[in-house]
Structure 1
């Protein structure tokens, strides 16, 4: 059956449902109000899964919820902003460790975003060319993104092993290093999770940018060729500006995803990473579930949420201002 043949039947079913199920329209036209009612179950599920835990986390961040009160958190004493004061105080144990974890999280996010975008852009430009096996290449590029995170991270962990890992073996064979590099401990641990995170997420950027390249009007390139523009000039003045909306989405998502990424740091470095690799998600996990200080862990989670939202807003605002000034929207 063709899509055009299915459309009337879908419209008929929708009209029948609207007649059978009278719903308030809230001052909107029938189609719009009915669409919102269809979305209501999904919105209710999102409310239960996301909004309620966030509110609960904010509440217990003002309470001393620990192992003593885990069975009945409502009996935990209210302590106001004591957790937040301890977190922002450099002289406390949690405060000094928090600022280190925050710095490493920024490094993790910036390194991941730059690496994902650059590698994704190069891949998209290559896929945008005509060559034999292009369909197979696009399929292969997606493998890191669709592969199970647990399996791929454990493979990377074996590859990065200081004693038996293939990475050290290859570098030593090529004469690039003389001694083994400890990728998973010490100062190099932050670079390990950045590398693995880039490898895991660059296909997403590549496909997004490839779609953006496909949407650029061919007339722009024809005009540039007539004007005698070089490849670099064409990329700088046509391709890259046309990709700005896609770039904004990729950067925004990478920033947020890096800040809330728990799987890769946890599986790659373990529960007790060195300070170099302890990003905020691991830091929060250790305080909440290892030290059993759930209230403090909740306060750290609230701070992480606020930081991610502020960064996202500032980047989005800056991007919108640039688009308006450049006439992109």
Structure 2
């Protein structure tokens, strides 16, 4: 099943990336000419239109991933700490926190798209009423589109981070906090010297998965910004889809996908070597 679902599509994408499959050969791909690394050479030509746009989209994807990780983890950690305390209605609060994550993604994105409209959107109306802004902000077009995607992606993913961190908080031995209180540590000292170190193994896993999910995220940019986003919101997945299917350049599109795959896997391997494996080794010691 792993071979059918994962390895064969990856191998097939790599094969397509070294062939010139376009509108002429899309119905008879087996007769498409072999071009070797020509598609990859076009991507490495930063002066070409497709090369410059692809690497810019990769840059925007990196910003999208970093913003998602920082926002989702920060909000997830704050929510987990609050839910870990005993208060009236805590069970209801735990259910409410899960709503953005368990709701259908397309429905959530369409609602956010309406909320972020510049003229009738709820977000601008609230900010204007509060006096935070003086005029409506255009969220879905122009330079702000990347920040809109980060905001919505954080909203969707932070409940998952909350669940993981909440479970990790429950697994921290209580005697560590008791010993810290005896030594005179306050709440901030306990959080800094006990909670955060104990959460490090799960934190690095959460960060790694959020980065990978952000790099391959197609639903958020496509539903939120549409098929023709402005340059700021043109992340790699959306650019590859639009370029490959609108221009029938499936060979070049496959080459872009392979580069994106290798880039994401490179980040994952480096991160795993210096963060994930080190955290679990340290935990074992």
TM-score class, shorter: over 0.9
Write the mapping of 1:240-255 to structure 2, written as runs, cut at 5 A: 240-255=196-211
Tell me: CA distance 1:49–1:323, structure 2 relative to 1, closer, same or farther (3 Å). Answer: closer
Distance, in Å, in 2 between the alignment partners of 1:312 and 1:85 is 25
Distance, in Å, in 2 between the alignment partners of 1:207 and 1:320 is 19
Tell me: CA distance 1:289–1:193, structure 2 relative to 1, closer, same or farther (3 Å). Answer: same
The alignment status of 1:265 with 2:221, answered yes or no, reads yes
CA RMSD for the aligned pairs? 1.2
Alignment-derived partner of residue 22 in structure 1 = none
Equivalent residue for 1:143, pick from 99, 109, 114: 99
Q: Give the conservation status (yes or no) of the 8 Å contact 2:201–2:276.
A: no
* Secondary structure of the corresponding residue to residue 91 of structure 1: coil
The alignment status of 1:68 with 2:32, answered yes or no, reads no
Alignment-derived partner of residue 182 in structure 1 = 138
Alignment-derived partner of residue 116 in structure 2 = 160
Higher RCO, Cα 8 Å, sep 6+: 2
Alignment-derived partner of residue 209 in structure 1 = 165
Equivalent residue for 1:59, pick from 15, 28, 52: 15
Distance, in Å, in 2 between the alignment partners of 1:323 and 1:126 is 25
Write the mapping of 1:85-234 to structure 2, written as runs, cut at 5 A: 85-234=41-190
Measured after TM superposition, the shift of residue 46 of structure 1 is: 2.7
Alignment-derived partner of residue 323 in structure 1 = 279
Q: Give the conservation status (yes or no) of the 8 Å contact 2:204–2:276.
A: no
TM-score (norm 1): 0.85
Measured after TM superposition, the shift of residue 324 of structure 1 is: 6.8
Worse-superposed segment, 48-57 or 252-261: 48-57
How many residues matched? 285
Distance, in Å, in 1 between the alignment partners of 2:87 and 2:178 is 21
* Secondary structure of the corresponding residue to residue 161 of structure 1: coil
Alignment-derived partner of residue 36 in structure 2 = 80
Q: Deviations over 1:3-57 (max 9, x none)?
A: xxxxxxxxxxxxxxxxxxxxxxxxxxxxxxxxxxxxxxxxxx2321221111110
Tell me: CA distance 1:131–1:179, structure 2 relative to 1, closer, same or farther (3 Å). Answer: same
Measured after TM superposition, the shift of residue 234 of structure 1 is: 0.8
Distance, in Å, in 1 between the alignment partners of 2:282 and 2:10 is 38
Q: Deviations over 1:270-320 (max 9, x none)?
A: 111011000000011012111110001100000111011110111111114
The alignment status of 1:235 with 2:191, answered yes or no, reads yes
Tell me: CA distance 1:202–1:89, structure 2 relative to 1, closer, same or farther (3 Å). Answer: same
Write the mapping of 1:19-38 to structure 2, written as runs, cut at 5 A: none
Distance, in Å, in 2 between the alignment partners of 1:321 and 1:148 is 34
Runs of 4+ with deviation above 2 angstroms: 320-329
Alignment-derived partner of residue 263 in structure 2 = 307
Larger Rg over CA atoms? 1
Measured after TM superposition, the shift of residue 153 of structure 1 is: 0.2
Measured after TM superposition, the shift of residue 268 of structure 1 is: 0.3
TM-score (norm 2): 0.97
Q: Deviations over 1:254-273 (max 9, x none)?
A: 00000000001000001110
Worse-superposed segment, 287-296 or 156-165: 287-296
Distance, in Å, in 2 between the alignment partners of 1:320 and 1:78 is 40
Distance, in Å, in 1 between the alignment partners of 2:24 and 2:157 is 41
Distance, in Å, in 1 between the alignment partners of 2:284 and 2:24 is 57
Distance, in Å, in 1 between the alignment partners of 2:246 and 2:3 is 28
* Secondary structure of the corresponding residue to residue 87 of structure 2: coil
Distance, in Å, in 2 between the alignment partners of 1:254 and 1:324 is 19
Distance, in Å, in 1 between the alignment partners of 2:26 and 2:276 is 45
* Secondary structure of the corresponding residue to residue 172 of structure 2: coil
Distance, in Å, in 2 between the alignment partners of 1:216 and 1:57 is 44
Distance, in Å, in 1 between the alignment partners of 2:28 and 2:58 is 31
